[in-house]
Every structure is written in C-alpha cells, then in structure tokens.
Amino acid sequence: MSDAEALRRFVLDTLADVGATVSEADPLSWIQVPERVRSDLEVPSTFAITFDPDRVGDFEAELVAPGSYFLERIVALAASRGRWDVARFDAADAEWIQQSLSEGGLGSETGVHLETVELGETVLLLFSFRVTLVSDEKRERFHLIAVSPTTGSAWEVDSAKADSGLTALPQARIEPDLQAAYRLGAEKLRETTREAVGAFRAASLGLLEEEVRRIFGYFDRTIEEIQAADPDGSQDLLRAVRGERDRRLAETVERFDPKASASLCAIRAIQVPIARVHLRLPQGRGIDATLDAWSRRVDGLACDVCHGIDGPWIPYAGAVRCVRCPPTPAESARPRGRPRSDTPRRGTRDGRGSARSPRGSTARSRAASGRRRAP
Amino acid sequence: MSLPVSEAARPADASLSLQFDDADADLLARAFRTPGDGPRAWALNGEAHRISLIDGFDRLLAWPTLRGVVRYPHQERTCLRVLREMRGRAILADEVGLGKTIEAGLLLKEYTIRGLVRRALILTPASLTGQWREEMESKFELPFAVLRSVGDWERRPLLVASIDTAKRDPHRVWAQRTSWDLVIVDEAHRLKNRLSVNWRFVAGLSKKYMLLLTATPVQNDMDELFNLVSLLKPGALHTYDRFVERYVGSADGRVPAHVPELRDRLRDVMVRNRRGIAFTLPPRRVHSLPVRLSPRERRLYDDVTEFVRDAYWSVSGRMSWAARLTLIVLQREIGSSTFAVAETLNRLTQSPLFGAAERERLEALRDDARAIPSNVKVDHLAGFLRSSDEKALVFTQYLRTMHYLKGVLEGDGHRVVIYHGGLPPAAKDAAVRSFRGEGQIFLSTEAGGEGRNLQFARTVVNYDLPWNPLRIEQRIGRVHRLGQTREVHVVNLWAQDTVEAYLMELLDRKIHMFELVVGELDLILGTLDERRSFEDMMMEIWTLRQAEERRAALRRLGDALVRARDQYDAMRERNDEVLRDVSDEVPA
C-alpha cells in the first residue's frame, strides 16, 4: 500500500470507527459525524474532505494531507482512543510447546529433554511507545514492548506480528498490575533504544562542538585583530564582541542540545495459554522455563555468560547461553585424551556425503566433554 | 578568556537517557477500569502514531500536497539541502523569479509539521507584510498575523513584521526577548551593513534556524557578502581582516579574489538557483494601445485634472493626508473610466474635505461624468479581444469599471468570469475553475488571482494602469512566471495626454519594464535614492501647473530611473561574477 493509500485508509477507518458515515464521491468524501466527535474534529455535522490538494474548496472540502490541520485533528482523535484493549490468543493444539522449544534452541534435536509440562494461562501486557529524539532535527520511532508479569520479563515485539492470531475480548474484565509491568517495559525500552539514543547524542554533540569551535575561533581572532589594529582602542567594542560571542554560544548550545523522550501510547492485555516446563539438559541438569503460545518465547532462563534473559539458547556444559554470546573456554576446550572430534572429516571415506555442520559437531564435542567431566 | 571548547560544548551529564512522559501515569491509572474502545480503535491508535512519526528530513512531507503551488525540482532540491546539509541556516539567493518565497514557506512548513518550529518571525519591508501573510495562509495554511501592536509579540506565535517597525523600541525589546525557532528575513540585502540598526537588530535575535532571502547578496562591495554570511554563520568566511586579505581584490572592495575558493565556502551557507540553463521564462511581447479620448471624455478628464491641481496646490498649501489621498484616487479613477470616477465625485459633493465652491465644481463634474454613456477605451479593448481566440486576463483597479466592462464584453458574446477581493473563497475558487474551463475572459481587480496558478492563459490586458509599477508587475506575474511555456502578451491601454501616458513613457520607454522578470522592478526601484513612493512622485509631477515644468520633472525622474536600471544591471553582473556556480545543483 502506498503512503497515500495508507493515509486515506487510516482517515476513513478512523471516521468510521467513531460512528461517522462516509460516502465517497471521488475526489471528495462526504462525512456525517455524530454530535459527540464534532468538537474534537472542529467540524459541522456534514462536511466534505479531499485528499487532492487541487480540489480543496470544492464544497468547502478540507484537505487531508501531511501537515494539514484536519489530519492533525484526526491523528489526535485516533491517538486519544483505543488506549487499552483486551485480546486473546488461542492455540489449536499443544504442538506450539515443542515448536517454541525448537525455535528457542532447546528442541529435542539439541539433546534437551522435555520432562514435565504444566499448562495454564496468563495475561501478557503489550505497551506501545513513541520515542522521540530531538536536537535541531527530530527522529521518532514506534516500539511495542511485551511484558510478562508472571515471569517478570519484557521483550520487543515486531509490529507486523503483533496482531497475528488475536481475537478481541472487548468485554473482558481484567485488572493487571500495570505499574510494575510498565516499569519493566520502560526499562526494556531504554535498553532497546540505548544504542540509537547514544548515536543521536554523539551526532548532536559533534555538531555542537564544531559550531562552538567555529564561534570561538571567529570571535577570539576578531578580538585579536581589533586589539592589534588599535592596542589602546575602546574596551566597549571588545565587550560588545564578547557579548555577541556569548549570545551566539548560548543559542548554539540550545540548538544542538539533544533530548530523548518516550511516551506511552496504548496498552493491550493478551490472554494467552502458557506452559511451565521442566527441561533436562544433555548433561543432566534440570531447568524450568515458561513458554507462551503467542510469543513462542522460552522465558525464565538466564544466559550463563551475559545473564541476559532473551533467547534463542544454546545448551552447553550443563548450562545455557544465548546465541549472542561467544562460546566459553569450557565449551571450546578439546576433551583431554580424546580425538579432536568424532565427526568424520570431509573428504575422507567416512565423511563422504555428510553434511557440514559446525554447530552439530561442536555440540557433540561439548556433549562428549561434558559427559567425561561429569561426576 | 575563552572557555575550553569541550567544556562549553558538552552538557554536564555524559549520557542521554529516555525521559518518560508524565502523562503515562494517567493512562496507567485509567486503563482497564472501563471497557476499551475495541480492537479497531487500538489498531488505529497505533496507526495514528506510525503515520505521524518523523524521521529526520528523509523527505519533504508537505511538498506533494501544497495548494496552488506549482512544484519545481529546484525548489525541492533547495529545501532538502537546507534541511539536511545547512541545518536550517541558509541564504536563499535564487535569481529573481525562481520562487524564494515558496522555498522559505516550504521550509517553514516542513519544520512546523515536525514540531521543530512553533514560533516564527518573518521580517520584510513594510510594503510586503500583507503579501507574506496572505501567501503563508493561502499556500501553506500557516496562520501568520501582521504585527500591529506590542501585545502581538506575546500573543502571536507566527508573526510577520516590517523590519523598520520591529527594530524600533518598544518592539525591538520584545522581538529580542523572544526565543524564535525560525527567523526569515526577506530582502536581506538590506542587512548589508553590519553597523546598521537593521543588522544589529537581526543579529540580536535569538533563533534556532534562520533564512535570509535575497537575489543580490552583493550590492556594492564584498563587505556586504561578509556581513550577510556572518549574521548566519560567523567564521564561515574567516574573520573580517582575513576575509579582506584573501577574498577582496581591490581597495574599493568591489573586486573579488580567489573566487573559486570563496564559492566553496559559500556553498555551506548559500543556495543560488539560476534561470536560463534548464529553465527559461518565455519572452514577453508588449502591445501598446494608445487611445484618443472622445471630446466629452477629454473635457471631463481635463476638468477633473484641473480640479485636482487646484485643490492640490490650494491656498492653505497644507492638505490633510485624507484630502491628498482623495485627490490621488480621483485622478487615478478618471484614468480608468468615467464610471469609476462618477461615484467618487458624487460622494465628494458631500465631503467636509472641500469647501462650498469646490463641492459645486464636484457636482458639475459628477453630472458630466454621468452623462457620458460609454468610453472609447472599451471599444479598443473589445476590438483587441475580438482579434484573438486566446483566454485573456483583463485587469482594472476599480469595481465600477469592472462591472461596466463585464456588461460590454458579455454583450459582445464573451464568456466573462469576474474575480475580486470581495468574493468569498469558494467563489474565488469557482471563478478560477470556470476560467480554466469554459471562461474566455478573467476580469479582475488588483486582488486578481494573487497566488493562483493562471499560467494556462498567456495574455494580460491592462485596461488601466496602476501608478505603482509593482502592481503592474504583479498583474503580469499572474501568467509570466514559472510554469509558463508560451510567449506572453501584455496589452496596455492608455489614453494620450494623461498620467498613464507619463507612466508608459517612464516605465516602457525609459527602463523597458515590460521586459523585466517579475521581481526585478522592485530591485530597480529600491536603488532609487527616493523616500517618496512612486505614486507620490507621479502625483507631484502631474499636478505641476506648467506643462514645461511637468516635462522637466518627468525627464528628471526618467533619468533617475535609467540610472537605477544601470545600477541594477551592474549589480546583477557583480553577483554573477561572485556567486555563479555557488550551488552544486543543476541550475534551475
């Protein structure tokens, strides 16, 4: 969908959602709005809008386009509604548990054994945030952060998948602990945006420094030139030059001062099936995790290396690490007194036709090592 | 003593963390206490935010949807360059006629959409404040107000002010106390002298972004260029001594040196689009239609003139401003039509501005005017319009003349569309559409089509001639502007031995005004060392009693205009020499 089509869809859907009747008579759309939203939109009960700037004024049609006052009001109206919502995710069968484990790197193919499963239900909270970075320019992003109050974890959600498989539960009565969940979500948002915020700050300060250097260079040399031309010259002139320099500096600092802010746009509660599972790692250690059918996340684990709580995971030496962390020395070390690897080498008779799988071979090697060192 | 750079530049904290909105707490307190607005409202909430996200200056948001603006690639390139590379501080130095006002308005709009500009100040010569306000409103939907009182500095976040008013106390104090997001200075060559009150006033404004608009950054000498750039970005052309040493090649400061290097430096702060390479305005053809008035019209004209001269140089010698203006109007109306003047004469018969004897004369003039059933000039107009199938814009200054013409032209079988300042906006839109469609003649007063795209027509008829040449230029500018692809015809109707004949002598024969590009005339008149308006000068010449005196005064004004035109031509050459190729862009 083009930007223009998306804009049109959004405006007409918003009007329909507030109870307006829309009759399209290209290039105009005739709108009849209920009394309760007339003041929000600052419109009469019936009016025309157009998306074509050349048709503005036909029947006093209001222009709807980026920067137009009407669009501003429609955006404000839409943003003031739908600020909370309840939805439900239903899983067709229990397959999702194995699938979630596999996607999380803990499927049976990795040697992890699913020992017990306890099914249940929980409410996840999905917070939408608008993040704004401003200096002499503005950059904004929209973020969806999910929080599981059950496990205390929070993660970023891809906007494109946020609605998938959900059914509405408009009348459901729930009262989640929003404050605690919000704090977790906000912390996650800070973490998610840290790099972008840092880069923005660095760029702004780089520009500020360049400007400040130029201003100092110009005014200081100007003062030197004035003094060289007339050593006994007027101090008033020098004071005036310094005054102008200080004013310009203040103006520049204000111009490039970076600011980062976030505001909560809306909250959605999602009722979702969960599974509390007990897993046995290949080396024999047992771990507990919580899975949910909507996000398919394996929750409740911590990386043995970085202590992060986001998978996917790699089981090693009786523990798990996240895929972002490099292998540990213990994991990389060759087992003493054993061959380098029991994987047949490529190009040899045994290795002919075998798929090259460094991960698989490492896993086996680690497993062997782990078994050897186990008490 | 200077602060170390790093100390001044860096805020105290070494990192920047997200600040969460206080309003979040309200939402947390209210959410889920009542049922929500439904899943569609939730989705639209997200869409509202996504649709209104700003991502730097990746593209121009307002550009595709501006009203009544023909969009040109050089303007889009200029805006993106100012936003991205110059970070909102630039000299827009396009040659005359390439749309600097549009570029400035668009930049302002892009900043306001992004929420980066909330308070903006436009500083212009007094004569242009209304025009700027109107253009910002009609083309960019930006509700600017013209500065009227001191209270406006606080009340109006978007303000247009005459620089001459704003720089004077108490306005100056208010203007400099305010923190402006954007300051636009039109005709910025008026800031050429850093010792002037204008320069110091603008330098003293606190602003985030600033746009300086001028087609002629260098008017006399290179100092002016330095002063302009220093206002925007001090140091961009070194210090003054270093600038003179490096970039000025003569003692009088008029000859530039190391020009390629200078242009390199200017590229950081200046955009200059030029006509004539990828874009050329089509030529104009001027048709002069002198008219010999009928004996009754002639007599009325002479009688009205005599009344005006008598009253102008009345014994009291000190006329009120209102009386003076009334006489100018009277003299201008008789140059338009007997219908225009008749009603004013009637009104003046009751006016306290005149004594009993004068009122008696006015009554007689009114009766003479009313007794004239038709004007010869309209026959010439009808004859010209019959000779052409083209759509034509016919301009007159007066509504009464307009209604008279409408009757005559419709009687002649033309489809006439009328347009004037009193029409409501929707009727104005309808008039333009009708002219674009079936209409043949767009009959308009001075308000005619200001800001409208009428380039689909190419013939402008001046049924009467405003004494202010800039108004004549504005009329022509309705069709001879960016977007016009065909030769433009300008038809001037004027009666012999009238003020209008004087005007033609000065403007057409002396300075070839009708060959100039729209905008150039203002620059020429700007170099006239003259405090009086052109209208006042015309009136003073016209009211001289002796024909010999009138001819001599006209000659003097003509010579001054010729000098002004020569000065302008020389200035244009100087700017070309220094600023040619200063933009990396393909010339417009």
Judge: B65–A63 Cβ closer than 8 Å, yes or no. Answer: yes
Q: Are B118 and B112 in contact (CB under 8 A)?
A: yes
The stretch A78-84 carries a mean pLDDT of 95
The stretch A196-217 carries a mean pLDDT of 95
Helix (H) or strand (E) holding A138: strand A138-148
Sign for the pseudo-dihedral over CA of B519, B524, B527, B529:
negative
B57-81 tens-digit pLDDT: 988 988 877 777 777 888 999 999 9
The stretch B103-113 carries a mean pLDDT of 95
Percent of chain B residues past pLDDT 90, beyond the cut = 57
Tell me phi and psi for residue B583, to 5 degrees. -90, 140
Token pair 């929209």 in the structure block, residue: A142
Judge: A84–B17 Cβ closer than 8 Å, yes or no. Answer: no
Comparing A210-219, A263-272, A316-325, B554-563, the range with the smallest average pLDDT is A316-325
Question: Which residues of chain A does B203 touch, with a Cβ-Cβ cutoff of 8 Å?
Answer: 244
The stretch B547-554 carries a mean pLDDT of 92
Judge: B46–A220 Cβ closer than 8 Å, yes or no. Answer: no
The stretch A248-256 carries a mean pLDDT of 93
Judge: B39–A87 Cβ closer than 8 Å, yes or no. Answer: yes
Residues 26-85 of A with CB under 8 A from B: 53-54, 56-60, 63, 65-69, 74-76, 78-79, 81-85
A305: helix, coil or strand?
coil
Q: Are B4 and A246 in contact (CB under 8 A)?
A: no
At residue B170, the pLDDT reads 95
The answer to whether A233 contacts chain B (CB < 8 Å) is no
B333-380 tens-digit pLDDT: 999 999 999 999 999 999 888 888 889 999 999 999 999 999 999 999
The stretch A211-215 carries a mean pLDDT of 95
Separation CA B354–CA A235 (nearest Å): 61
Q: Are B175 and B150 in contact (CB under 8 A)?
A: no
B501-516 burial, b if ≥16 CB within 10 A, otherwise e? ebbbebbbebbebbeb
CA-based nearest residue in chain A for residue B50: A142
ipTM over the 0.90 cut-off: no
At residue B25, the pLDDT reads 95
Selecting from A60, A78, A174 the residue whose C-beta is nearest the C-beta of B48 gives A78
Q: How confident is the model at residue A368 (pLDDT cuts 50, 70, 90)?
A: very low
Question: Which residues of chain A does B241 touch, with a Cβ-Cβ cutoff of 8 Å?
Answer: 225, 229
HSE toward the beta carbon, residue A173, CA cutoff 13 A? 2
B123-177 tens-digit pLDDT: 998 878 888 998 898 888 899 999 999 999 999 999 999 999 999 999 999 999 9
Closest alpha carbon to A41 in A9, A25, A8, A19: A19
At residue B247, the pLDDT reads 93
Separation CA B451–CA A86 (nearest Å): 51
B21 to chain A, closest Cα gap in Å: 5
At residue A349, the pLDDT reads 46
Tell me phi and psi for residue A9, to 5 degrees. -60, -45
The stretch B273-298 carries a mean pLDDT of 84
Token pair 């962390």 in the structure block, residue: A325
Judge: B57–A57 Cβ closer than 8 Å, yes or no. Answer: no
The DSSP result for B349-404, as a single string, is TT-TTS-HHHHHHHHHHHHHHHT----HHHHHHHHHHHT--S-EEEE-S-HHHHHH
Is the pLDDT at A364 greater than 60? The verdict is no
Closest alpha carbon to B45 in A14, A249, A216: A14
Token pair 């403007």 in the structure block, residue: B507
CA-based nearest residue in chain B for residue A259: B16
Q: What is the DSSP letter of B55?
A: B
Interface test with A, best of B22, B27, B42 (most A CBs within 10 A): B42
Interface test with A, best of B45, B109, B180, B233 (most A CBs within 10 A): B45
The pTM score is: 0.77
Mean pLDDT of chain B, nearest integer: 88
Helix (H) or strand (E) holding B274: none
Q: How confident is the model at residue A42 (pLDDT cuts 50, 70, 90)?
A: confident
Q: How far is CA A279 from the centre of its chain?
A: 30
Pairing status of strand B392-395 against strand B441-444:
parallel
Q: How far is CA A294 from the centre of its chain?
A: 17
Separation CA A229–CA B254 (nearest Å): 23
At residue B588, the pLDDT reads 45
B459 to chain A, closest Cα gap in Å: 23
At residue B2, the pLDDT reads 41
Comparing A28-42, B301-315, B440-454, the range with the smallest average pLDDT is B440-454
Separation CA A89–CA B112 (nearest Å): 42
Distances from the Cα of A316 to the Cαs of A112, A321, B383, in angstroms? 10, 7, 99
Residue B207's Cβ-count burial label (10 Å; 0-12, 13-18, 19+) is buried
Q: What HEC string does B439-499 produce?
A: CCEEEECCCCCCCCCCCCCCEEEECCCCCCHHHHHHHHHCCCCCCCCCCEEEEEEEECCCH
The stretch B276-305 carries a mean pLDDT of 87
The stretch B35-55 carries a mean pLDDT of 93
The answer to whether A258 contacts chain B (CB < 8 Å) is yes
B443-498 tens-digit pLDDT: 999 765 565 668 889 999 999 999 988 888 888 888 887 778 899 999 999 999 99
Q: Are A306 and A322 in contact (CB under 8 A)?
A: yes
Residues 6+ apart with CB under 8 A from B576: none
Is the pLDDT at B109 greater than 90? The verdict is yes
Closest alpha carbon to B428 in B415, B440, B441, B444: B444
Q: How confident is the model at residue B318 (pLDDT cuts 50, 70, 90)?
A: low
At residue B448, the pLDDT reads 57
The stretch B507-512 carries a mean pLDDT of 87
Within chain A, how many helices (H) and strands (E) appear?
Answer: 8, 14
Q: Are B435 and B442 in contact (CB under 8 A)?
A: yes
At residue B452, the pLDDT reads 66
B438: helix, coil or strand?
coil
Question: Which residues of chain B does A131 touch, with a Cβ-Cβ cutoff of 8 Å?
Answer: 18
A49, β-bridge pairs: A29, A62
Q: Greatest CA separation found in chain A?
A: 96
Residues 157-216 of A with CB under 8 A from B: 159, 163, 166, 168, 170-171, 173-176, 178-179, 182, 186, 189-190, 193, 197-198, 200-201, 205, 207-209, 212-216
Judge: A251–B62 Cβ closer than 8 Å, yes or no. Answer: no
Q: Find the length of chain B.
A: 588
Separation CA B310–CA B358 (nearest Å): 10
Question: Does residue A128 or residue B134 have the better pLDDT?
Answer: A128
Question: Which residues of chain A does B46 touch, with a Cβ-Cβ cutoff of 8 Å?
Answer: 82, 128, 142, 159, 265-266
A156-184 tens-digit pLDDT: 999 888 888 899 887 777 878 899 999 99
A278 to chain B, closest Cα gap in Å: 34
A155, β-bridge pairs: A146
The stretch B101-108 carries a mean pLDDT of 95
Closest alpha carbon to A230 in B25, B241, B58, B89: B241
Separation CA B268–CA B232 (nearest Å): 11
Judge: B19–A260 Cβ closer than 8 Å, yes or no. Answer: yes
At residue A1, the pLDDT reads 53
The stretch B413-430 carries a mean pLDDT of 86
B485 to chain A, closest Cα gap in Å: 21
